[in-house]
Structure 1
Amino acid sequence: MDNWEEAETIYEFTAKDLKTGEEVSLKKYKGHVCIIVNVASKCGYTKRNYEQLVKLHEKYGEEKGLKILAFPCNQFGKQEPGNSEKICEFAEKKNVKFDMFEKINVNGKDAHPLWKFLQNKIPGERGKAIKWNFTKFIINEDGEPVERFASAKNPNDLVEVLEKYW
């Protein structure tokens, strides 16, 4: 989507599924509260974030309809060097059942349009750019970005925030 500046919700975007490579319309998340996060397999935040995201998905996926959309990114310290197959293997070992998409850029002119949209809608404390792996955006049931959290914010600590939107 070249005109990401005109978008109002995440439903106007697509992303490629990590396993199949097929374009997925984010309209499939309509009516769900979502966490959108950039992930990496070799980051200091990896173990804790994956463990907690998996637990959040297990606990609230069925009960509250929470959807987690993970986007591998290699822009920070080259901490996601693998191809789709390697990333899938890593995710399976971590027991990931939430949705994962193909590796993308989250910053710069080649950034995925969804991530340009997210940054523009909710700048961080130090500007619009994503600063590191595991930046988290909360999306309300209407597909609007409503909260942004830096890498250091543990996924478990998002529950109180998520409760405002369920």
Structure 2
Amino acid sequence: MNVFEYVFQSIGGAPLRLQNWTGQPLLLVNTASESEFAPQYAQLQRIYDDYRESGLVIIGLPCDDFGHREPGSEEDIAKLTWEEYRVRFPLTRKISVMGYAAHPLFHALRETYGDDVTPRWNFYKYLFDRRGELIECWPSKVTPNDPLLTHQVERNLNSWVF
């Protein structure tokens, strides 16, 4: 599977083709505004600010699959993430990451890498390299500023092209 083959809808409704970032690393995160992990939005924004000039792209994937923690509309999500966390990285429309209704990317991840990469809650993080291959994924409790995650980002900076 190659992450650059997938398309989402931006929170504003326009197509969000991941191929637009071919050659750049992608950090995809299934988010939820009312999750206990929602403060990670601010940490994700700081990581985005720190590494976007080096090519890192972060995309938030709002999801209501776990505990009904993303009940609002796309407008509600955009407003809350801006007002509470000043999020400027791209967000998609709400998607599902579990079961039959899951976005095709999550079906492909599960088929390619097995159940170990299946999100178990909100704020699972997936880092893909410039070729679109999964480098690593982290569960909700691993924060965006955790050295486990930032080390992988920094370790691969030299291998990414823009």
Q: TM-score, normalised by structure 2?
A: 0.90
Aligned length: 154
| Counterpart-to-counterpart distance in 2, 1:77 and 1:98 | 24
Residue aligned with 1:156, SS:
coil
In the other structure, the counterpart of 2:155 is 164
Residues 1-166 of structure 1 correspond to what in structure 2 (within 5 A)?
A: 8-19=1-12, 21-47=13-39, 49-62=40-53, 64-93=54-83, 94-123=85-114, 127-157=116-146, 158-166=149-157
Does the CA-based 8 Å contact 1:57-1:67 persist in structure 2? yes
- The 8 Å contact of residues 34 and 140 in structure 1, kept in 2 or not, is answered as yes
Which residues of structure 1 form unaligned runs of 5+?
1-7
Compute the TM-score of the two structures, normalised by the length of structure 1.
Answer: 0.88
- The code of the aligned residue for 1:59 comes to D
Report the Cα offset of residue 46 of structure 1: 0.8
Runs (5+) with no aligned partner, structure 2: 158-162
Q: How many percent identity over aligned positions?
A: 32
Tell me how large the CA RMSD over aligned residues is.
Answer: 1.3
Distance across 2 between alignment mates of 1:43 and 1:80: 8
